[in-house]
Structure 1
Amino acid sequence: MANLTQISDNSGGRSLGRSGALIGLVFGAGLGSLRMFLDDSPDAVSTGNLAFLAAFVAPFALALGALRLNRATMRAAVWLGCGALGLAGSIVAFSGVSLVLILPGGLLLAAAIQALGARDTSPEWPAALIAVWIVATGVLAFLALFQHEDPRSWTNGNVSYGTSDVITRAEGMTSLGVWLASLVVLATALWLWEMMARRR
Structure 2
Amino acid sequence: MLQDRLRDYRIILASGSPRRQQFFKELGLDFEIRLQPTEEVYPPSLKGNQISDYLAELKASAFDGTLAPNEILITSDTVVWHNDTSLAKPADSQEAFKMLKTLSGDWHEVITSICFATIDGKRTVHDTTRVKFKPLTNDEIQYYIDQYQPYDKAGAYGIQEWLGHTAIEQIQGSYTNVMGLPTHILYKTLTDMAG
Q: TM-score, length-normalised on structure 1?
A: 0.31
More strand as a share of residues: 2
Q: Which structure exhibits the higher relative contact order, with contacts defined as CA atoms closer than 8 Å and separated by 6 or more residues?
A: 1
**Structure whose residues are more often helix by fraction:** 1
Structure number, greater radius of gyration: 1
